Amino acid sequence: MFQKILYLSIAGAAGTIARYWLSGFVQRMITVEFPIGTAAVNIIGCFVFGLLWAFMESRFSISGQTRIIIFVGFFGAFTTFSTFMYENSRLLDDSQWLWALENIVLQDILGLVGMIGGLSIGKSL
């Protein structure tokens, strides 16, 4: 168990550093007010997550533990948005249209409401 936590921590640190570097690099290269660095991380993260997942399903076998380290450790720190999009794509693949819509609304709308609420409460204290 300790070894698994250690590997998750190392992968998470790598994901955090990759996110920090890529987001900052893109934001410096494309100087706009829009948070293009975060958007780039999320879009690239979704693409690479999907690509790796497909390769691991069809081309080479990776243990469940290694998948957890890669997808929870690295991508969890790089972007949780990729996991969110993967879960939605799985729901859509399974024709679970309503669940996919509910997941998107729940996390996007209520996440935004939660953020605004937290900021408002935090500023008023």
Predicted pLDDT of residue 38: 87
Residue 108 forms part of a structural domain:
no
Predicted pLDDT of residue 22: 95
Residue 121 forms part of a structural domain:
no
CB of 66 within 8 A of CB of 53?
Answer: no
Residue 118 forms part of a structural domain:
no
pLDDT confidence tier of residue 58, bands split at 50, 70 and 90: confident
Residue 49 forms part of a structural domain:
yes
Region 21-39 average pLDDT: 89
Mean pLDDT of the chain: 89
pLDDT tops 90 at residue 46: no
pTM value is: 0.75
Domain that holds residue 26: 2-79
CB of 25 within 8 A of CB of 3?
Answer: no
Q: What are 40's two structure tokens?
A: 């780039």
Residue 58 forms part of a structural domain:
yes
User: What is the domain count for the chain?
Assistant: 1
Tens of pLDDT along 63-104? 888 889 999 999 999 987 877 888 899 999 999 999 999 989
Residue type at position 112:
L
Give residue for tokens 């249209």.
Answer: 97
